[in-house]
Amino acid sequence: MDFTPAIPSWNYMFMLEAMTYKAAIKIPPHYKRFDLKPEDITVQAWTNQIDRHNSEGHWHDLDLALICQDDSDNDKYLYGSSDIITGDRDFNFTFRFKLPGEKDWRWANHYGLDGFAHVEPPRHYDKWTQGPDYTHVLGTLHVGNFIAATNAKECGFTHVLNVADNLDMVYPEGGVSYKKVNKVTCIAFTGLPMGNPTLGHNS
């Protein structure tokens, strides 16, 4: 099992940034004979972060959706989820998963050995922290901030091209085609700021 962020770990972020959780789960060999499907595994982050689902900061689960199969290991699958942190309170997190028919959760680590995130208030001089922000470029092409990309479906976008090295996104509910491009050296559109996702919608 591999988890991102690691358990335990110390993380630093700002309010209105997205917290992305990823888990790589390897299917035990003896489960293959039961025709276990990766989508049948329940994978969750367990956290007391303040987000749109939890304004009080109580411990709650976040379902991690199946993303893809690991290219280097056919028995390992990647799950993930992203959510905007809506409060400037520090929080803890860990991971758990459960195979079909199991009653008890399998936890990422022992009790109390959680990941920790220190959250600072939003930086008012950063426009992208004030909410979804995007600019029309050409046709159905727009350039937007991370919040706009995270809320692509609500903003009316169907495709997201991420060229930011230090950002990642997950769309567990579907409806958005997503691609991350690493090591982008040039952009064909004049004035296209680096580090922002590119948004588009069907015409």
Identify the DSSP state of 51: B
Within the chain, which residue ranges are assigned CATH 2.60.40.10?
Answer: 2-120
Question: Measured between alpha carbons, how far is 165 from 107 in angstroms, rounded to an integer?
Answer: 30
Take residue 102 and report the two structure tokens written for it.
Answer: 């199991």
Q: What is the pLDDT of residue 194?
A: 39
- Local confidence band at 175 (pLDDT 50, 70, 90 cut-offs): confident
Q: What is the pLDDT of residue 128?
A: 58
| Dihedral (Cα; 110, 39, 61, 153), 10-degree rounding | 140
Q: Average pLDDT, stretch 180-203?
A: 50
- 127 Cβ neighbours under 8 A, 6+ residues apart: 133, 145
* Positive or negative torsion for Cα 21, 12, 7, 183: positive
Read off the pTM: 0.66
Lowest pLDDT segment from 62-66, 109-113, 175-179: 175-179
- Local confidence band at 9 (pLDDT 50, 70, 90 cut-offs): very high
Q: What is the pLDDT of residue 203?
A: 47
Question: Measured between alpha carbons, how far is 49 from 64 in angstroms, rounded to an integer?
Answer: 15
Q: Which residue has the higher pLDDT, 101 or 110?
A: 110
Q: What is the pLDDT of residue 173?
A: 66
* Positive or negative torsion for Cα 14, 8, 172, 182: positive
Is 2.60.40.10 the CATH classification of the domain at 2-120? yes
In the predicted structure, residue 184 carries a pLDDT above the cut 90: no
In the predicted structure, residue 51 carries a pLDDT above the cut 50: yes
Task: Give residue 140's Cα distance to chain centre.
Answer: 25
In the predicted structure, residue 192 carries a pLDDT above the cut 60: no
